[in-house]
A and B are shown apart, each in its own frame.
Chain A
């Protein structure tokens, strides 16, 4: 009996604690559907009248959100695609070659997990090489995630037996064919994890994009929140609608693919 009771106590304590996360989300969503005065009251109450389309269409028209969505889509897609290809190729060669050179190169790549990016010198280098705005943001997002991607793939390659490579070579497949048509398809589980984690990281990125995409014209949708805070500082309904729009894709992906995401995001710190 007391066991039963302590279990109920634990369940209720858990649910109560979960409100610390659920209430803020509820608050933002609910207030994104109110009118200006209603949202300014900052309450958890449901809207008296729901402004579904009005707020969201006004928000989308207002703060360069469509441009932001387009920019986010471009930057995220190219960065993630490049990251998958570059880090899987690198991890494959470095894991398979068993030389002093490959060991050293792997250590060099892992350094990126430890050292913070030197952003001002990096800006200097991109400026000098005439790599600007989108391309610069993409390149910097790729290189700052490259170490993690390579680390993730390397762990997985250990589970793919070399016999597969050897029999392919016997069949006369060259080194490129070996990687692209035989090995790469086997990497699907890790590739999926990396795509999800990198998608979320790049979509949410602020620390790099703020330096390289620094005018409203080339803002990503995450950066448009700043536009709203500055220009529409009292229109909390629109600000919250913008926050919902920025967060929705990431939250949806998380709810659908939770396992992948928790494993992937903690991979660096659990395996180490």
Chain B
């Protein structure tokens, strides 16, 4: 029975896609494992020399490189916290009956479709210490003390990037959570109203548990996105001042530019391992859901 059912379907159709995917995505992933243990300065197999753990040791101990790891974590965790927090507030707010609802949803999601480089250019101008919109606004309303060297102060620069990332992706996070809120049947709330539940009780016992799966997804998507960040940092600070905003992505780009391919590969592999460790718990859920057809 099974063989006749499978007859009209041919593996020939998957061949082009799978071959490309294997050759240019999976093979590089495995090959990255080899390169991360190698000393290699040009793109030739004959140039590969075994280097043991040196690349990993360098990545983890060199000040410059370990700054990148620390910054990636700061960036990933703070942006996730902010994006999910603000996204949740926006979702709850826009789940109400408002006349401006459609306009507000459109606007909230809009930054997500803009090119990161374009967004980066705008904020480079807006965060300029003297001519930038943000400091000038602060001076204008008399909050001079809050005006900062947003992108040139090494202690602050990474948080300025966190702010830009939050601006760009909070609306996207809102859309994920809003889909969750809209999946909740109104009956639950009606029952709760009959029982005389307060707003907070309804949120705690109905809204939150039912939105939780969406909430978890939003957390994971944002954590991974934060760890993988490259274009925003490259567009705004290129990892500077010094190594103050260096992250995995810019580190790999720099090792690529300076021909230290082994170190770049090791940084990539480390990033992948961290991402896999975060996603693996949810991975099982996704694959189970999608494979049983």
Contact = CB atoms under 8 A, between A and B. Distances in A.
Interface of A: 7, 10-11, 14-15, 17-18, 20-22, 24-25, 27-28, 40-42, 44, 86-87, 89-90, 92-99, 103, 105-112, 114-129, 139-140, 142-144, 146-147, 150-151, 154-155, 158, 162, 165-166, 168-169, 175-176, 178-179, 200, 203-204, 206-207, 210-211, 222-223, 225-226, 229, 236, 239-240, 243, 246-247, 250-251, 254-255, 258, 261-262, 265-266, 268-272
Given A124-B261, A154-B290, A207-B249, A178 B8 contact: yes
B175 interface: yes
Interface in B264-287: 264-265, 268-269, 271-272, 275-276, 279, 282-283, 285-287
A269 B218 contact: yes
B8 A266 contact: no
B231 A272 contact: no
A261 B106 CA distance: 11
B220 to A, nearest CB: 8
A119 to B, nearest CB: 6
A92 B13 contact: yes
Contact of A21 (B110, B176, B220): B110
Given A251-B110, A251-B113, A175 B252 contact: no
Nearest to B101: A14
Nearest to B7: A169
B140 to A, nearest CB: 11
Nearest to A154: B290
A206 B235 contact: yes
A240 B279 CA distance: 39
Contact of B20 (A120, A146, A239): A146
Contacts of A200: 113
Contact of A24 (B32, B122, B268, B269): B122
Contacts of A109: 18, 21
A221 B110 CA distance: 20
Given A42-B125, A118-B272, A90 B13 contact: yes
Q: 5 nearest interchain CB pairs?
A: A86-B17, A118-B32, A121-B28, A122-B28, A204-B115
Contacts of B32: 118, 120-121
Contacts of B25: 112, 117, 122, 143-144, 146
Contact of B113 (A18, A129, A246, A254): A254
A162 B175 CA distance: 33
B200 interface: no
Interface residues of B, number: 101
Given A14-B104, A42-B128, A246 B115 contact: yes
A118 B290 contact: no
B118 A211 contact: no
B284 to A, nearest CB: 11
Nearest to A118: B32
Contacts of B234: 206, 210
Please report whether the interface of chain A is mostly helix, strand, loop or mixed according to DSSP.
helix
Contact of B255 (A111, A117, A120): A120
A266 B264 contact: no
B126 A24 contact: yes
Contact of A211 (B5, B256, B289): B256
Interface stretch (B74-82, B131-139, B147-155, B187-195): B131-139
B133 to A, nearest CB: 6
Given A146-B25, A250-B113, A272-B217, A120 B35 contact: yes
B96 interface: yes
Given A90-B14, A99-B6, A143-B20, A272 B107 contact: no
A106 B290 contact: yes
B51 to A, nearest CB: 14
B258 to A, nearest CB: 12
B268 A18 contact: no
B271 to A, nearest CB: 6
